[in-house]
Amino acid sequence: MLRFGRLAVIVGIIITSLGMVVGFSALFTGADTFAKPFLGIIPVGFLMTFAGLTTTLLIGTPRK
């Protein structure tokens, strides 16, 4: 479960940053229909990051 939490944080950060970079750059260049899916995926990445962070904090570090 700890590995899943860490993986969810990393994937969530990647999805959020990819959505922000591609979405806002497409929005500012005038490709609004291309930007909408990328801007819409930002909350999904944020929720995945938050779920992974919560999972990692609740599970804690593995004990020896």
Instruction: For the chain, give every domain's residue range.
Output: 2-59
Answer for the pair 11, 48: CB distance below 8 angstroms, yes or no: yes
pLDDT at 26: 93
* Token pair of 9 as six digits: 């944080």
pLDDT tens string 5-42: 999 999 999 999 999 999 999 999 988 899 999 999 99
DSSP helix/strand/coil, 23? helix
Q: Is the pLDDT of residue 62 over 80?
A: no
More confident residue, 9 or 62: 9
pTM above 0.75, yes or no: yes
pLDDT of residue 60: 78
Contacts of 56 (CB under 8 A, 6+ apart): 2, 5, 6, 9
